[in-house]
Amino acid sequence: MNRISHKPRGFTLIELMVTLAVVAVLAIIAVPNFRDAIHRSAVSSASNALLADLSYARTEAVNRGQAVSVCPSTDGTSCNAGTAFDTGWIIYAYTPGNAKPNTAYDAADGTNLLLRYTQQRQGVSIQAGTGGLILSFDAQGQQMPSASATAQSFVICYRDSGTGAGANTSSVPGTQLNLSTAGSVSTATLTAGATCTPG
């Protein structure tokens, strides 16, 4: 009777060391790329949210046949002074005959109608071009008042923490959103070396 010898199977120490080395190299390459992809996604998400809400405000102004305003807000009940929109923003209208374009939202004012509140965006900075910013659209979808309205820019960049402008890098570029006096909105990727504040 022949006996068949079975040797135990498994990894040798050398095979295990080579496998771990390959995994380590792949991790070194993959982790930064994955992190950058997440950061790019945060910038894109914030840019798309602001673009969608500005378009929504403009559409509501046309549909209602009266002014609709947008301003930065941290709590959804009042407008913030300053240019930072990463704290959130609100969109509001007015009861018929009581439109006061470019005035701050007042939750206690019965003539103010809150339409939408978009909460704080994490991991990004959203800087607008002017201080004390309140944007209003008229029944034609144009900025109000049309005689003194100016084109507005927003710059969205990734930010690790804190406040202020984020960073525009080649691996995680920022986005510039441009609002014309006619009310149309367009976006563009920031060029290398551009700052994260509107020019």
Q: Which residue has the higher pLDDT, 121 or 117?
A: 117
> SS3 string of 139-197?
CCCCECCCCCCCCEEEEEEECCCCCCCCECCCCCCCEEEEECCCCCEEEEECCCCCCCC
For the chain, the first-to-last Cα distance in angstroms comes to 90
* Mean predicted confidence (pLDDT) in 8-18: 72
User: Is the model's pLDDT at 145 over the cut of 90?
Assistant: no
DSSP β-ladder status, 89-94 and 112-118: antiparallel
* Mean predicted confidence (pLDDT) in 97-104: 87
User: Is the model's pLDDT at 10 over the cut of 70?
Assistant: no
Domains, the chain, with CATH or none: 13-189 (3.55.40.10)
Q: Is 44 exposed, middle or buried (0-12, 13-18, 19+ CB in 10 A)?
A: middle
The rounded mean pLDDT for the chain is: 86
- Among 112, 101, 114, 110, smallest CA distance to 69 is for 101
pLDDT category at 30 given cuts 50, 70, 90 is low
